[in-house]
Structure 1
Amino acid sequence: MRRRSLILAAVPVGLVTLSGCGDEKSDSSKASDSASSAASPSASATSAAPPPKIVDGPLPAITAGVKFDEKPTVAKGSGDPSSQLAVKTVIAGGGKVVAEGDYIQANYLGQIWDTAKVFDNSYDRKTPLVIQLAEGSIIDGWRYALTGKKTDSRVEFSVPPTWGYGKEGNSQAGIKGTDTLVFVVDVQATFDAKSSAEGTDVAQSDAKLPKVSTNTDGKAPKIEIPKVDPPSKLVANYVIEGDGDEVAADSSLLVQYEGVVWDTGKEFDSTYSRSALTSFSLSQVVKGWAQGLTGKKVGSRVVIVIPPSLGYGDSPPSGSGIEKDSTMVFTVDILAKM
C-alpha cells in the first residue's frame, strides 16, 4: 500500500460523495495493505505539546548520497541530541514555499540518533511520499521542520520523542520512547487549495461533449454542458495533458475536482468550494472515476462523463443533489500519485 508510511498518523478522508461507493478491495489487496502496514506502521497520535524551539544542531553528517533526491547515508549521532527541534537546510531550493496544511511530495530517510538504524526510507521504494503537513496527519516534527522551506530543498532535522512518537515509541518500527529520530527530506513539490494541472492544452472539438476551461489560477474550471442527450458510455478525455507518471488501476491520488449534473449543470461537489484538496484510492470511488482516470498522466486535467451505470444509478447519495439515473460530469486535476 503505497500511501502508508511510518510517519503517517491517519489516512486522509476520501471524496465526500464518491468515497466508499466503489468496489470492495480484493483479498489480495487487503493482504498487501496488512503486510505493508506491519512494515511501515502508522504514527502515534500527535502530541499536545507546545511548539518546539527551532535550533541549528547538533545534527549528524551526511556522508554519502549528498545530491538532492539521492538516497543519503547519515552518520550516527554524536553526543546527546537536542531536546528541541534541530533543523538544517542542507540544499536550499528556489521553489514554492511550503505552508502548514499543504500537501508535500518528498523522498525521505529516517534513522535513530543513537544507533544510525534506518527505520524507514522512500528511496528504496522508488515512490515519493505525498502527505499533508497537518496535525493528525503527520508527526509534529515534520510539520514544524518543513513549514517555510522551499521546494527543491534538502532538509535534515532531528525529532525528540515529544514531537515524534512520544513516550510510547513505535515498537513495530523498533523505535523506543526515548529515541530521537533523524530525518533527511528532499522536498520535491507542494500542493495547496489553489494548485492546478500543469501541461499542454488539448483541443476539445466534439460539440456533443462538455467543454472545460483551461485556467490554472486555482479557481474552479468552467464546465459548459451541450444541449444534447448525454453519451451512454464513459468519456474520459484530456483537457490539459501533463507529463507525469501514468495512473494505475490501484493508484491513490491527490486531486482537485468539480462535479456537476449533466441535465442541469448544477454543482453537487467540489474541492474548490471547500478550499481543500482531496486524496483517495481508485478502489474507493465509483467505477466511472476508476476507469476514467486509469492510464491518465499525473499533472493532467481530465473531463469525465459518467453514465448512471458507472455512477450511482438509481441509488444516489441522500442529500447529494444527484437525481436517480443522472449522468455526472467531472473535471479532475491529477496533482500527484500517493
Structure 2
Amino acid sequence: MRRRSLLIAVPAGLLTLAGCGDDKSDKSKSSSSSSPSPSGSAEPTAKIVNGPVPDITAGTKFGEKPTVAKGTGTPSSDLAVKTVIDGTGTVVAKGDYLQANYLGQIWDTAKVFDNSYDRGAPTLFPIGVGQVIPGWDQALVGKKVGSRVELAIPPALGYGKEGNAQAGIKGTDTLVFVVDIVNTYNGKSSAKGKDVPQDNADLPKVGTNTDGKAPSIDVPKKPAPTALVSEYVIEGDGGEVKDSDQLLVQYKGVLWADGKEFDSSYQRDQLAQFSLQQVVKGWAQGLTGKKVGSRVLIVVPPALGYGDKPPQGSAIKKDSVLVFSVDILAKM
C-alpha cells in the first residue's frame, strides 16, 4: 500500500461536492487518514531568515529527488527559507491548493522521514490556512510555480514539543525540507487543453471559456438520454482518472428539465474535492478514465443520480436528469 504523507493534516470537514455525497462521506474522510494535525491551536508567527540550510548534494534539478546533507552547526531558531530555483509561474496565494513534490529529513541526522518523489506523484493540499505545519504555511505563500525551495523549520513551526512519533521526529528536531512547487489552484482555475467538437444536437452544449468563470450549459429542448453521457468538452493531457482517485474540480450542475442551475463551485468561489467512491454513480462512472486537465460534460440519469430520493432542500426533484460541466483540475 502506498505510504501516506506525514506532512499533511487532513481535517474532518474537507469541502465535498455539495449535494453529491452522502452521510457516509464525511465519516470516511475524517477516519481515513493517519496524518497528524498541525501542532497547537494557533500558529506562531515566524521570522523568516535566509539560512542556514544544508547543501543539496544530488538531484539538484527541479522535479528530481534531492539528496540533502546533514545539517552542520546549530540551526536557526527562526524559519530559514532559501529559494534554490526561482520559478516563473503563478504566485502561490493564501488559500490556494498547492501541488508540490517534497522531501523531508531531520537536521541532526539527515534521516529522511517522508518524501513524495518515491510515491510517484506530487502532493496537493490547501496552503496558508492551517492544514499543514506552520513552517510550510508561512514559507511557501508568495513563492512561484516552478520554484524549488529549501526550508529549515524549528520545532515550534513543525510538530511542536510533542514531535511526531510515527515519523521518528522528536520535539527538539529541526526539520529540513526541499519543496518543488508544481502548480497552484484556486477558485479561478479552469481546465486546460484542446476544445473537442460538440456535434451532437441531442446533447447539451457547454462553454469552452477558461477564464475561471462558470461555463454556459445550454440544454436542448429534446428528450433526455436514458443512459449516462460522459463527453470531453476540453481534453486535457494529464493522467487518466481511476475509480479510486480523489479529485480537485470546478463544476456546475443544471437540471435537464428547465436548464436551471442547482449547484456550482464557481458560485462559492471555492474548489471542490472528493473521492470518486463518495459521490453519485453518474459522477464516479462519468469521470473514471477521463484525463486530468479536462472539462467533461456529464448527463446523469435518475438511476445513477438521486432517483426518487433527491437531497432535501435542493432544487433537484424526484427522478431528475442532471447535467454537469466538470473541470478535472488535479488528482489529490
Q: TM-score, normalised by structure 1?
A: 0.93
Partners in 2 of 1:109 and 1:223 — Cα distance?
43
Indicate the residue corresponding to 2:7 in structure 1.
Answer: 7
Indicate the residue corresponding to 2:162 in structure 1.
Answer: 168
Give the secondary-structure state (helix, strand or coil) at the position aligned to 2:311.
Answer: coil
Q: Is the 8 A contact 1:61 1:75 kept in 2?
A: yes
Indicate the residue corresponding to 1:314 in structure 2.
Answer: 308
Residue 193 of structure 2 corresponds to residue 228 of structure 1: no
Q: Which amino acid aligns with 2:5?
A: S
Structure 1 residues 138 and 58, CA gap change in structure 2 (3 angstroms):
same
Partners in 2 of 1:217 and 1:46 — Cα distance?
39
Indicate the residue corresponding to 1:114 in structure 2.
Answer: 108
Partners in 2 of 1:194 and 1:179 — Cα distance?
38
Instruction: In structure 1, list runs of 5 or more residues that go unmatched.
Output: none
Q: CA deviation at 1:71?
A: 0.2
Give the secondary-structure state (helix, strand or coil) at the position aligned to 1:156.
Answer: strand
Q: Aligned Cα RMSD in Å?
A: 2.1
Indicate the residue corresponding to 1:18 in structure 2.
Answer: 20
Cα deviation per residue 1:112-159 (whole Å; 9 max; x = unaligned)? Answer: 111111010000010110111042321111111111111111000111
Cα deviation per residue 1:140-188 (whole Å; 9 max; x = unaligned)? Answer: 1111111111111100011112111111111111111111111100001
Give the secondary-structure state (helix, strand or coil) at the position aligned to 1:124.
Answer: helix
Q: Of the candidates 325, 330, 334, which is equivalent to residue 328 of structure 2?
A: 334
Indicate the residue corresponding to 2:75 in structure 1.
Answer: 81
Q: Is the 8 A contact 1:262 1:328 kept in 2?
A: yes
Partners in 2 of 1:3 and 1:303 — Cα distance?
34
Structure 1 residues 283 and 162, CA gap change in structure 2 (3 angstroms):
same
Q: Is the 8 A contact 1:46 1:136 kept in 2?
A: no
* Identity value in percent: 66
Per mean C-alpha deviation after superposition, the further-off stretch among 162-171 and 219-228 is 162-171
Structure 1 residues 146 and 44, CA gap change in structure 2 (3 angstroms):
closer
Q: CA deviation at 1:191?
A: 0.7
Q: Of the candidates 91, 111, 132, which is equivalent to residue 138 of structure 1?
A: 132
Structure 1 residues 24 and 137, CA gap change in structure 2 (3 angstroms):
closer
Indicate the residue corresponding to 2:181 in structure 1.
Answer: 187
Cα deviation per residue 1:28-74 (whole Å; 9 max; x = unaligned)? Answer: x99xx97xx56xx3334454133201100010000110010000001
Instruction: In structure 2, list runs of 5 or more residues that go unmatched.
Output: none
Give the secondary-structure state (helix, strand or coil) at the position aligned to 2:284.
Answer: helix
Partners in 2 of 1:219 and 1:122 — Cα distance?
32
Partners in 1 of 2:39 and 2:299 — Cα distance?
40
Cα deviation per residue 1:77-113 (whole Å; 9 max; x = unaligned)? Answer: 1111111110000001111111111111111000111
Per mean C-alpha deviation after superposition, the further-off stretch among 222-231 and 158-167 is 158-167
Partners in 1 of 2:206 and 2:318 — Cα distance?
25
Indicate the residue corresponding to 1:270 in structure 2.
Answer: 264
Q: Is the 8 A contact 2:39 2:158 kept in 1?
A: no
Partners in 1 of 2:321 and 2:85 — Cα distance?
49
Length, aligned pairs only: 329
1:41-52 matches, within 5 Å, as 41-45=35-39, 47-52=41-46
Q: Is the 8 A contact 1:43 1:170 kept in 2?
A: no
Q: Is the 8 A contact 1:196 1:333 kept in 2?
A: yes
Give the secondary-structure state (helix, strand or coil) at the position aligned to 1:263.
Answer: coil
Q: Which amino acid aligns with 2:307?
A: G
1:202-241 matches, within 5 Å, as 202-241=196-235
Partners in 1 of 2:326 and 2:24 — Cα distance?
17
Q: Which amino acid aligns with 1:51?
A: T
Q: Which amino acid aligns with 1:247?
A: V
Residue 254 of structure 2 corresponds to residue 252 of structure 1: no
Structure 1 residues 47 and 3, CA gap change in structure 2 (3 angstroms):
farther
Which structure would you say has the larger RCO, counting Cα contacts within 8 Å and 6 or more residues apart? 1
Q: Is the 8 A contact 1:9 1:46 kept in 2?
A: no
